[in-house]
Chains A and B, each alone.
Chain A
Amino acid sequence: MVPFLAKFYNLDRRWLYLAMVVILSVPVIVQIPLPPGATSATTQGLYDLVESCPEDKVILIDSSWDAGSASENRAELECVIRHICRKKIKFVVTSAGVTVFGPEFANQVIEPIAREAGYVYGEDWINLGYKVAPGSIGLLIDAICKDLHSVYPTDYRGTFVSEFPVMDRVKSYKDFAFVYCVTYQPDNAWISFVKGQFDVPVAFGCMTIAAPGYYTFIDSKQLAGMLIGNRGAAEYEELNHKPGLGRILIMATSFGNLMIILAAVVGNLGFYAARALERNARGGTAR
């Protein structure tokens, strides 16, 4: 048994990589019918925010992600947009200071859903585009909250926002129902400025790996809700009664996580077996 296990010590890493590729691909190709589990309080918090959104308010969505974090951020944006469109709430999309590709990736997700829901660009929603942060992202967020029109005089295509009716309804933080920031790791400045200074609820959609840093703000009620990676998106899709990308990708994450645990177990078994063999070879005295 020990000599067999010792073989795992010097396993060619390419086998592990191949196993990872297979295990991540299968759940995407073949749908595995595993329920996403109980809805977490963080997901429910965001869902309740959309449900209780007043008719005269507009939701500000900061969609600042691109191909690098699309694996989780896309599903997080998709499920919330689907819910917003079902509720017929108007929304404004920004990409504040993270990636220049933000507006185009947001459009790829929003346009088909908005079209399906009968939303008209400029009347029901608008994409204001990317804005570079002047010095710090906090100052940009502060400026967005105080005077959205001065920060964004045009939309992402360069058309003046004064030409779009939806922008007549939204001038400053007073018109925001809440702010939903979807990115790899949302900046704490959203909490400091939007919630702290203007008392507008804030919700995040972040990568699972970044989530532990925000539990402290959930606990203090400074964050009203949070979608934690694909798990959060899958839970939200369950609440929406419309399974989607999150449900598919959380399965890949499930098996990927299992694979990482197995790799650690195999690595340790191989290491200790190889050490035992070496000790036996030296007469059982050396360590």
Chain B
Amino acid sequence: MATRRLIVKLLTLVAGLFFILEFLMPGNRPGWFDSLPAPLRGILEFLIRGNDQNFLSPLVPAANTILMVVSAMAFLLGPISLVRSHLARIVRRQPGVFYSITFLVFLVFGVVATAVEKVESLKLLYNVAFYGFGLALGATSMAILAFYLMSAAYRAFRLNNLDAGVMMGSAVIVLLGLVPLGDYLTHALPEWLQLGFWAKKILEVPNVAVQRAVLIGAVAGAFAAGLRQWLGLGKVVE
């Protein structure tokens, strides 16, 4: 068990090191390269190949292929886990069994349709699965957002304190200030009273400040989490 953990940690360390070094190491030799003593120049010639290539760059396509294979294997874990849980629900006849059956039927349908995509006589199956169902369902789920927003604005948005008032005010300014209707409604007013002017101010000042704060926090968190995994301090899932 300990050996397995060690192998996983070592692989993570080497893979992380590979991508960091490949990214950070320059691919072109500096101007002062020729003035270096011969032994040092030899080492640098090996490390920095020129034409944007360092000694790790030729290995990147192979590394990407390996990553793609590993990602595909990891991707399989999701469907396997889903199939197991839905099969269990069907066998135990738990509530929602109809949805589980629907899921499994369409999963099999999707897999078969993809497998026979290149067979000309069965191409219809693929078209039905992806253009008939996939695209239509994708477009529908996005279109439903309009009704969801409408319902949320009507039901959930209550002006019962100052915070909600500020939110409502800025929402109205941004919603109308970014569309021609807002420009038209306030075009006769001085520029500093126009909706477009204030929408721009809201997006460029408080919005940018908040976005930066969130971004810095998220990146710092991701960096810490990545560093923990890379150095083998994180949890090893077996």
Check A139–B67 contact: CB distance below 8 A.
yes
Check B61–A34 contact: CB distance below 8 A.
no
A11 to B158 Cα, complex, angstroms: 16
Does any Cβ of B come within 8 Å of A255's Cβ? Answer: yes
Does any Cβ of A come within 8 Å of B81's Cβ? Answer: no
A255 to B171 Cα, complex, angstroms: 15
Check B68–A257 contact: CB distance below 8 A.
no
Does any Cβ of B come within 8 Å of A284's Cβ? Answer: no
* Chain B window 168-200, contacts with chain A (Cβ cutoff 8 Å), 1 for yes, 0 for no: 100110011011111110000000000010001
B65 / chain A contacts, CB cutoff of 8 Å: 134
A254 to B195 Cα, complex, angstroms: 13
Check A234–B135 contact: CB distance below 8 A.
no
A138 to B208 Cα, complex, angstroms: 24
Check B71–A134 contact: CB distance below 8 A.
yes
B135 / chain A contacts, CB cutoff of 8 Å: 66-67, 101
Size bin of chain B's contact surface: 35 or more
Does any Cβ of A come within 8 Å of B5's Cβ? Answer: no
Check B150–A208 contact: CB distance below 8 A.
no
Question: How many of A's residues come within 8 Å of B, CB to CB?
Answer: 59
Check B208–A132 contact: CB distance below 8 A.
no
A255 / chain B contacts, CB cutoff of 8 Å: 181
Residue with the highest number of chain A CB atoms closer than 10 Å, among B57, B153, B157, B196? B153
Contact of A261 among B151, B159, B172, B196 (CB under 8 A): B172
Interface residues of A in 229-247 (CB under 8 A from B): 231, 234
Does any Cβ of A come within 8 Å of B211's Cβ? Answer: yes
Does any Cβ of A come within 8 Å of B138's Cβ? Answer: yes
Check B151–A13 contact: CB distance below 8 A.
yes
A216 to B210 Cα, complex, angstroms: 9
Q: Which of B6-14, B35-43, B87-95, B140-148 contacts its partner? A: B140-148
Check B139–A216 contact: CB distance below 8 A.
no
Does any Cβ of B come within 8 Å of A276's Cβ? Answer: no
Check B203–A212 contact: CB distance below 8 A.
yes
A215-B207, A215-B208, A267-B155 known; A260+B150 contact, CB < 8 A: yes
Does any Cβ of A come within 8 Å of B149's Cβ? Answer: yes
Shortest B112–chain A CB gap in Å is 17
Shortest A50–chain B CB gap in Å is 23
Check A135–B215 contact: CB distance below 8 A.
no
Does any Cβ of B come within 8 Å of A283's Cβ? Answer: no
Does any Cβ of A come within 8 Å of B123's Cβ? Answer: no
A17-B150, A150-B61 known; A213+B211 contact, CB < 8 A: yes
A35 / chain B contacts, CB cutoff of 8 Å: 180, 183-184
A183 to B221 Cα, complex, angstroms: 26
Does any Cβ of B come within 8 Å of A36's Cβ? Answer: yes
Interface residues of A in 57-108 (CB under 8 A from B): 66-71, 100-101
- Shortest Cβ distance from A193 into B: residue: B23
Contact of A172 among B52, B139, B154, B157 (CB under 8 A): B52
Shortest A197–chain B CB gap in Å is 7
Does any Cβ of A come within 8 Å of B60's Cβ? Answer: yes
Shortest B168–chain A CB gap in Å is 7
Does any Cβ of B come within 8 Å of A16's Cβ? Answer: yes
Contact of B168 among A197, A208, A264 (CB under 8 A): A264
Check A257–B175 contact: CB distance below 8 A.
yes
Check B146–A271 contact: CB distance below 8 A.
no
- Shortest Cβ distance from A150 into B: residue: B61
Contact of B139 among A68, A142, A231, A266 (CB under 8 A): A68
- Shortest Cβ distance from A230 into B: residue: B179
Shortest B187–chain A CB gap in Å is 9
Contact of A215 among B142, B181, B204 (CB under 8 A): B204
Check A219–B208 contact: CB distance below 8 A.
yes
Beyond contacts A260-B149, A267-B157, A268-B158: 6 other A-B pairs, Cβ-Cβ < 8 A, are: A134-B67, A146-B57, A212-B207, A231-B180, A260-B175, A264-B171
Residues of A within 8 A of B (CB): 11, 13, 16-17, 20, 24, 34-38, 40, 66-71, 100-101, 132, 134-135, 139-140, 142-143, 146-147, 150, 172, 197, 208, 211-213, 215-216, 219, 228, 231, 234, 250-251, 253-261, 263-264, 266-268, 271
Residues of B within 8 A of A (CB): 19, 23, 52, 57, 60-61, 64-65, 67-68, 70-71, 130, 134-136, 138-139, 141-142, 146-147, 149-151, 153-155, 157-159, 168, 171-172, 175-176, 178-184, 196, 200, 203-204, 207-208, 211-212, 215
17 A-B residue pairs with Cβ-Cβ distance under 8 Å, sorted by A, are A16-B151, A20-B150, A24-B146, A34-B180, A67-B142, A68-B138, A134-B68, A142-B23, A146-B60, A147-B61, A212-B207, A215-B211, A216-B212, A234-B180, A257-B175, A261-B176, A263-B154
